[in-house]
Structure 1
C-alpha cells in the first residue's frame, strides 16, 4: 500500500515538473519557440530519411513513398478515433488536397532524380528550399525580412557549400535540374502549410497530409508493387511515426511565428546528418564537414539569440 502511495507521489511530482517546464517554455519569445520546433523537426527528418534510404534500396521508391504516408496515417488513427472524426474535419478541404498534390509532386521529382545524382549534389540543391520559402514569405505573407534572418540564412548556406562543394561532380545532367525543380515545389507546399495554420490545427494538417499524399501516391506505387516483408512493414511503421511527429513539429513551428524566421535553423539538418552517419554507420566527417558544421551551428545560435531578445 505504501509502495502504491510512493509511486503515485512520484507521478504527481513528475506531472508538476512537466507543467512548470511547459509554463516556462510558453513564456519564451514566439520566434525562439518556432526555431526549437523547427530544429526538432529537422532532427526527426534526418532519422526518417536514414530509414527511408534503407527501405528504398529494398522496394521501389514510389512504393516506399506510398508506404511512408500510409503508415503515417495508420499510426495517427488512434488519436483521430479517440478525439472523434469531427475534431479532424478540415475547414478547407480544397486547401488540404491542394497541399497534398503539391507535396506529392515534390516527392515525385525528388525520387525521379535521386538515383541519378550524387548525395552531395542532392544535399546542396535541397538547401535551396529555405531560400525559396523566405522569398515566398515576403511575397505572399508580407512577413518582415529583418537583416538578421537574411544574414543567418546566407551564413548557414555558406556553411553547407563548404561541406558539399569539394564533393560536387556536376555530372547529374538533366536530373540535376529535376532535383532543383523539387526545391521550389517543396517550398510551395510549406508555404501552403503556413497559410493553413491560420485556421487549422497542426494535428488536422498532418492527418490530412497523410491522407492526401497516400491517395495521390497510390497509382505510382502500384506500377512496380511488391508485397513488403514483415521487417519492411516494421521499418515503414517507424517511418510513418517519425514522419508524422516531424511534420507536427514543423507545422507547430509555422503556426508559432513567421515562417521566414525559422528557416536558418534548417541548415542544422546537415549537422544532424553528419552526427547520425558517424554514430550509425561509422562515417568519419572530413575537415570540410567539421568547419561547415561549426559555421552552421554558429549562425543558428546567433539568430536564435537575436530573435530571443525580441518580444514574442
Structure 2
C-alpha cells in the first residue's frame, strides 16, 4: 500500500520535533491522532520507525531513511501547490510568527498588518514574548530574534545589527554625575535586563576601529526586569543608568527624556537581528513571502539609529 501523505507529514514532524507532544502542538492535532498515524505507518511498512522514551523519540535507521525521503516528497508536493496558488493569486493559510515583545509591538506589528492587507486570505498568529520560543516544537513558521542563534539546526537570514546605548535621564546625570571610565559604573545604579536579583552583565567592546578585547561587567542596581519597556520607564524616571537597544531608546533621546552617556573608547556590544525558520528543504510559499516582505523592510540603515549619529544628544 502507498503511505498516506498526512501520515508521512505527521511522521516527519515527530522526528523533527523529537516528541509526539511537540508534533501534535505544531500540527494542531490531538496526541492520540499523531500516535495513531505513526503506528499505522509502522504497521503498513512492517518495521519500527521510532525509538520511544518517556519524553523523547528518535528515529530508527529505517525511520531516519523514511524521514529523509519523505521530506523530499513533501517538499515537491508543496512546490506544486505553491505554483498553483501563485498562478491563481490565492495565497492563503495560517502563519505563526514569534518575536520579542518590544520590537514586535513597535516595529513588527505595523509590517504584519500591511502584509495581511496585501494578502487578504492569509491569517497570522503573532506571538510576542521576550523569552525565546521553541520554533520547531512550538509549531512556528518564522521567528524574528535579536541575539545569538543558539539552535544551529535552524536557518537564518540576517537583517542587521541591533545597536545598544548607555543612557540616563538628565535628572540622574545632574544628581549623580556620569561615569568617565568603565570602572566608574560600579558606583552607579545600573538597571539590568535579567531575571535574577543578584546582578546583571553588561558587555562593552572597543569603540569604532579600535582593537582590544571586550569587557564584561557584573553590576548591581535598584531594578532588574525582563522587560525593556520597564527598564526604559525607570531610567526616564531617574532611577539609574540603562543599556538598551536603540530601537527602544531613540524616541526618548529625541525628546530629551534621556541623554546618551559616552564612555571614551567603549561602546555596548550590539546584537544581531535575524529571521529564523525551520530547516525544511523548501519553505511554503506563504512563509517565503512573509520572510521576503519583512527582510525588504527591516534592513540597515535603521531609522531608529539616526538619534545615535554624531551630533545627537549626549552627556559625558
Smaller-chain TM-score range? under 0.3
Q: Structure 1 or 2: larger strand share?
A: 2
Q: Compute the TM-score of the two structures, normalised by the length of structure 1.
A: 0.23
Quick one: higher RCO (CA 8 Å, sep 6+), 1 or 2?
1
